[in-house]
């Protein structure tokens, strides 16, 4: 209901839509009357004039009704689609403002569903409510009203059959809903087996497991069929039962009508009208029961959207510091823990000062906190305690876009976007010339393979770069960061997919072209970092040493360990 405010700009249309619908319903209710008029006053007394004139009136009202109906759906279309657009935009903007700890919570799939399926569900509900809800309610109320007016006794028929229908719908739905959950679970199982066999086809074949996989699938498949049948059998009851009640009501109306005609309380035509009305009322109930399903679906959607809208970004702009230095980074007694995890700090009391133009590496085992450390620099996350300074000022005092413009970061997972190669590189600098783009690609060792692509730099990257190898993707992301020419450049284990030769020439090129840039490199291989000015060794969230390669090799136990595991160990022991 909180979402109702999004309808406000379209109040006029939201009011016009049901109003126009009233017009259509009115014409619809008029039709049987006019039709009976043609029969009663025209055909029966064989009066051609009445037939023609009533026919013309009928045509005119029908056209009027049609116009009302079309107008209603147009009005409600304007209102509901506008509503959906505004809501969609707001949700997306909200998502774009979230911090990582918050986006981590929502998975990509769920955000996509929220922005498309969920919004469509709500949009349809709004559209439905503005038109069909009004229509059915009017038919229902109008029908009851008309019937009671015809004869109070018909009220009994309505009073009995109406609650009965509602009861049946509620009962069947109550039994069916848990069954639907079971079906969804079984369907998941079938999909999982399938998914595993598509992605793991090599292993299935290598271990000659086709037969047993087929058996596993058959079991899941059979279970899905059984649970599907169960719910379908139950649902097969709903339609006939509702129809039965409706038809029984029709019978009752004719019977009661007969008695009333006998008693001269009613005319035959009125009995026929009552039959039409009772059908209309019960039909309305069926429609409303269907609508209740879409309401419950939409309310689930609304809940999911409100969840996003209610999430306040935890990291926001500072007051706009300037920064007195250039290209320096400093960690002052920094501790950090992921908000979702329980307690155990990822980083503890880190003190590290990185000078302008320094080439520093960060080394450590997986989970030691290397990535977390560099994530604090562009404020992907905020430190729990201590201070992170960039260019001499606390990162929290910068405007986010200003802070991030000083920093280039190449992530562990290269993320490319569906656009041309050049456009992807140009992310680093919007107005870069073609020469600059090529130059950046050359530094990143990407120029060669890009030039070999059929359309060179204009080749489109499809599906997040599925047609590129891991190494190619990494080189493009590096080119992007290089083009940005930031003061501080961070490589977060971003050369792992490069073979050693390419990596070596990349390092060479970077050294030549990035004079004066502060470079922070996270790496796994000692070979990749041993030429750095200093290597910071992180172990279990603590900075154990920071010195050049030779020094560490001589005096740092953790470093020696790593070194041994990479270079010296083999099968000897």
Report how many residues bind other proteins under the rule CB under 8 A: 168
- Binding-site member from 179, 287, 309, 497 for other proteins (CB under 8 A): 497
What is the contact mask toward other proteins in residues 72 to 91, using x (rule: CB under 8 A)? Answer: xxx-xxx-xxx-xx--xx--
How does strand 359-364 pair with strand 518-523? parallel
The DSSP 8-state label assigned to residue 46 in this structure reads T
**Interaction of residue 63 with other proteins, rule CB under 8 A:** yes
Write the interaction track for other proteins spanning residues 334-373; mark x where CB under 8 A is met and - where it is not: -------------------------------xxxx-----
Nearer to other proteins, 124 or 397 (CB): 124
Closer CB to other proteins, 502 or 513, in the complex = 502
Q: Which is nearer to other proteins, 223 or 332 (CB)?
A: 223
The rounded distance, in Å, linking the Cα atoms of 209 and 417 is 38
Q: Which of 4, 33, 116, 458 binds other proteins (CB under 8 A)?
A: 116
3-state SS assignment for residue 335: strand
Which secondary-structure segment (H or E) carries 108?
helix 108-113
Beta carbon of residue 111, minimum distance to other proteins (angstroms, whole number)? 5
Taking CB under 8 A as the criterion, which residues in 373-432 touch other proteins? 378, 380, 400-401, 404-405, 407-409, 411, 415-418, 427-428
Positions 521 through 550 that interact with other proteins (CB under 8 A): 524, 526-527, 530
565 binds other proteins (CB under 8 A): yes
Sign of the CA dihedral with 502 first, then 506, 509, and 512 last? negative
Listed residue (23, 26, 31) closest to 71, CA to CA:
23
Span from 97-105, 170-178, 321-329, 339-347 in contact with other proteins (CB under 8 A): 97-105
Structure tokens at 225: 């069929």
Binding of residue 26 to other proteins (CB under 8 A): no
Among the listed residues 247, 292, 293, 451, the single contact to other proteins using CB under 8 A:
247
Contact between 535 and 546 under an 8 Å Cβ cutoff? The reply is yes
Nearest 5°: CA angle at 40, between 34 and 43? 100
For the segment 290-329, give every residue that binds other proteins (CB under 8 A).
Answer: none
42 binds other proteins (CB under 8 A): yes
31 binds other proteins (CB under 8 A): yes
By beta-carbon proximity to other proteins, the closer residue of 330 and 493 is 493
Helix axes 154-199, 134-150, angle to 10 degrees: 160
User: Do residues 412 and 448 lie in contact, with contact meaning Cβ atoms separated by under 8 Å?
Assistant: no
> Please, what sign has the CA dihedral across residues 75, 79, 81, 82?
positive
Task: Report the distance separating Cα 182 and Cα 439, nearest Å.
Answer: 57
Cα–Cα distance between 122 and 83 in angstroms, integer? 9
Closer by beta carbon to other proteins, 272 or else 287: 272
Chain positions 438 to 467 lying near other proteins, rule: CB under 8 A, are 460, 462-464, 466-467
Instruction: Out of 22, 111, 295, 393, name the contact with other proteins by CB under 8 A.
Output: 111
Residue 188: how many other CB atoms lie within 10 Å? 13
When the beta carbons of 169 and 411 are compared against other proteins, the nearer one is 411
Q: Which stretch binds other proteins (CB under 8 A): 3-11, 35-43, 299-307, 318-326?
A: 35-43
CA distance 168 to 153: 24
Q: Could you count the other beta carbons within 10 Å of the beta carbon of residue 215?
A: 11
Task: Kindly state the smallest distance separating residue 380's Cβ from other proteins, in Å.
Answer: 7
Q: Whose Cβ is closer to other proteins: residue 351's or residue 448's?
A: 448
d(CA 542, CA 368): 8
Member of 383, 498, 510, 532 binding other proteins (CB under 8 A): 498
Distance CA 242, CA 247 (A): 9
Is 390 in a helix, a strand, or coil?
strand
- Look at strands 359-364 and 534-539 and give their pairing: parallel
Nearer to other proteins, 107 or 333 (CB): 107
Could you say whether residue 118 binds other proteins (CB under 8 A)? no
- CB of 298 within 8 A of CB of 114? no
- Closer CB to other proteins, residue 19 or residue 332? 19
The C-alpha atoms of residue 396 and residue 418 are separated, in whole angstroms, by 33
Candidates 161-169, 260-268, 283-291, 436-444; binding stretch for other proteins (CB under 8 A): 260-268
**Smallest distance from the beta carbon of 348 to other proteins, in angstroms?**
18
Choice between 15 and 527, CB closer to other proteins: 527
For the chain, what's the residue count?
573
Q: Which residues pair with 363 in a beta bridge?
A: 523, 537
Q: How far is the CB of 306 from other proteins (least distance, A)?
A: 18
* Region binding other proteins by CB under 8 A among candidate stretches 1-9, 148-156, 228-236, 291-299: 228-236
Residue 305: CB minimum distance to other proteins, A? 13
Q: How far apart are CA 76 and CA 396, in angstroms?
A: 46
The span of 63-71, 290-298, 302-310, 387-395 binding other proteins (CB under 8 A) equals 63-71
Spatial contact of 65 and 23, defined as CB atoms under 8 Å apart: yes
Q: Name the residue nearer to other proteins (CB basis): 435 or 499.
A: 499
Nearest-approach distance from CB 362 to other proteins, in angstroms = 13
What is the token pair recorded at 178? Answer: 């848990």
Residues 185-214 that bind other proteins (CB under 8 A): 187, 190-210, 212-214
Question: Are the C-beta atoms of residues 290 and 284 closer than 8 Å to each other?
Answer: no
Q: How far is the CB of 76 from other proteins (least distance, A)?
A: 8
Contact flag: residue 175 with other proteins (CB under 8 A) = no
* Shortest distance (Å) from residue 346 CB to other proteins: 14
Token pair recorded at residue 391: 């260019």
The 3-class secondary structure across 430-466, one letter per residue, is: CCCCHHHHHHHHHHCCCHHHHHHCCCHHHCECCHHHC
Structural contact between residues 378 and 407, judged by C-beta atoms closer than 8 angstroms: yes
- Options 22, 148, 272, 544; binder of other proteins; rule CB under 8 A: 272
């Amino acid at each position: 209901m909180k979402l109702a405010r999004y309808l406000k700009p379209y109040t006029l249309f939201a009011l016009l839509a049901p109003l126009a619908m009233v017009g259509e319903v009115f014409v619809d209710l008029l039709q049987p009357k006019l039709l009976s008029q043609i029969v009663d006053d025209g055909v029966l007394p064989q009066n051609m004039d009445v037939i023609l004139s009533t026919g013309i009136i009928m045509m005119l009202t029908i056209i009027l009704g049609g116009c009302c109906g079309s107008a209603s759906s147009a009005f409600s279309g304007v209102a509901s689609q506008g509503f959906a657009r505004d809501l969609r935009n707001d949700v997306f903007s909200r998502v774009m403002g979230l911090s990582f700890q918050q986006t981590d919570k929502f998975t990509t799939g769920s955000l996509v569903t929220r922005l498309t399926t969920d919004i469509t569900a709500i949009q349809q509900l709004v559209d439905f409510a503005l038109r069909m809800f009004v229509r059915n309610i009017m038919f229902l109320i109008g029908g009851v009203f008309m019937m009671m007016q015809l004869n109070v006794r018909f009220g009994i028929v309505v009073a009995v059959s109406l609650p009965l229908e509602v009861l049946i719908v509620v009962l069947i739905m109550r039994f069916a809903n848990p069954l639907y959950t079971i079906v969804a679970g079984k369907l998941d199982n079938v999909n999982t087996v399938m998914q595993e066999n598509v992605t793991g086809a090599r292993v299935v074949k290598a271990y000659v497991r086709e037969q047993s996989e087929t058996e596993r699938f058959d079991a899941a498949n059979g279970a899905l069929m059984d649970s599907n049948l169960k719910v379908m059998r139950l649902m097969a009851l709903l339609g006939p039962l509702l129809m039965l009640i409706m038809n029984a009501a029709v019978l009752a109306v004719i019977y009661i009508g007969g008695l009333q005609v006998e008693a001269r309380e009613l005319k035959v035509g009125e009995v026929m009208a009552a039959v039409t009305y009772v059908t209309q009322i019960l039909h309305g109930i069926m429609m409303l029961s269907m609508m209740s399903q879409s309401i419950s679906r939409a309310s689930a959607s609304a809940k999911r959207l409100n969840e996003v809208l209610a999430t306040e970004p935890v990291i926001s702009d500072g007051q706009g510091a300037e920064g007195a230095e250039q290209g320096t980074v400093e960690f002052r007694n920094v501790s950090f823990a992921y908000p979702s995890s329980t307690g155990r700090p990822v980083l503890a009391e880190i003190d590290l000062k990185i000078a302008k133009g320094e080439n520093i590496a960060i080394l450590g085992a997986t989970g030691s906190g290397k990535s977390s450390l560099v994530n604090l620099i562009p404020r992907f996350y905020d430190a729990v305690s201590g201070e992170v300074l960039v260019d001499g000022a606390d990162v929290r005092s910068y405007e986010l876009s200003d802070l991030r413009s000083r920093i280039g970061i190449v992530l562990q997972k290269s993320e490319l976007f569906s656009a041309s190669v050049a456009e992807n590189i140009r992310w680093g600098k919007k107005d870069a010339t073609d020469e600059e783009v090529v130059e950046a690609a050359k530094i990143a060792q990407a120029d060669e393979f890009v030039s070999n692509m059929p359309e060179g730099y204009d080749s489109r990257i499809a599906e997040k770069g599925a047609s590129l190898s891991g190494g190619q993707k990494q080189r493009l992301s590096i080119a992007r960061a290089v083009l940005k020419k930031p003061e501080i450049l961070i490589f977060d284990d971003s050369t792992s997919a490069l073979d050693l030769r390419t990596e070596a020439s990349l390092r060479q090129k970077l050294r030549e072209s990035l004079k004066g840039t502060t470079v922070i490199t996270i790496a796994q291989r000692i070979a990749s970092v041993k030429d750095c000015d200093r290597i910071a060794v992180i172990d279990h969230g603590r900075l154990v040493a920071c010195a050049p390669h030779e020094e560490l090799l001589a005096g740092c136990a953790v470093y020696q360990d790593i070194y041994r595991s990479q270079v010296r160990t083999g099968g000897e022991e």
